[in-house]
Amino acid sequence: MMMTKINRIWTDDTAIYIEMSNGKVFSEKFEDYPRLRYATSEQQAAFEYNDVFIRWEELDEDLSIEGFMKEKYHADNSLCRIFKLHPELNVSAVARIVGIPQSVMASYLCGNKKPSEKRENEIKNAIRRIGTELSKI
């Protein structure tokens, strides 16, 4: 539960920022979220928010306000590298194949959450299955 309120939320070319009523500023980089990374500046700036989420309706993307404030582990993990090296991979589609919400997958990729070893292997196996299916075409 948040103890302070949001003063304002804004974007620049690389990130989205939240300023809280206590003066603290938090940010998330667009590069950590594929839908936001490949969006136009206008799309990145076209968000709505409440005390819980920031929502980009056109992009079908949500970020939790709480996630901005959590300590992040180093996001340059193997899953992050896979998706950065292969931007053709659709994070939402892989999340659906694995059976997890897209927002959870995005949290893994940006460092808000660390997947268990089992979950990471499930994600990698889903990507391998996609590759196998594509190689049969």
pLDDT digits (tens, 9 = 90+) for 68-124: 877 655 555 678 778 877 878 888 889 999 999 988 888 888 777 888 899 999 999
CA-nearest of 54, 43, 49, 58 to 106 is 54
The answer, yes or no, to whether residue 35 has pLDDT greater than 90, is no
pLDDT band at 1 (very low <50, low <70, confident <90, very high): very low
The Cα-based distances of 51 to 18, 24, 48, 79, 88 in angstroms read 11, 16, 11, 29, 33
Tally of domains within the chain? 2
- Which has more confidence, 106 or 46? 46
Domain end: 70, 88, 120, which one? 70
pTM: 0.54
pLDDT band at 2 (very low <50, low <70, confident <90, very high): low
What is the CB neighbour count within 10 angstroms for residue 44? 23
pLDDT band at 51 (very low <50, low <70, confident <90, very high): confident
State whether 76 and 65 are in the same domain: no
What pLDDT shows up at residue 123?
A: 93
Residues 6+ apart with CB under 8 A from 33: 61, 63, 106, 109, 110
Domain end: 23, 52, 70, which one? 70
The answer, yes or no, to whether residue 25 has pLDDT greater than 80, is yes
* Structural domain that includes position 120: 72-137
Place of tokens 């049969």: 136
State whether 78 and 112 are in the same domain: yes
- Are the beta carbons of 26 and 68 closer than 8 angstroms? yes
Task: Let me know if 72 is exposed, middle or buried by CB neighbors in 10 A (0-12, 13-18, 19+).
Answer: middle
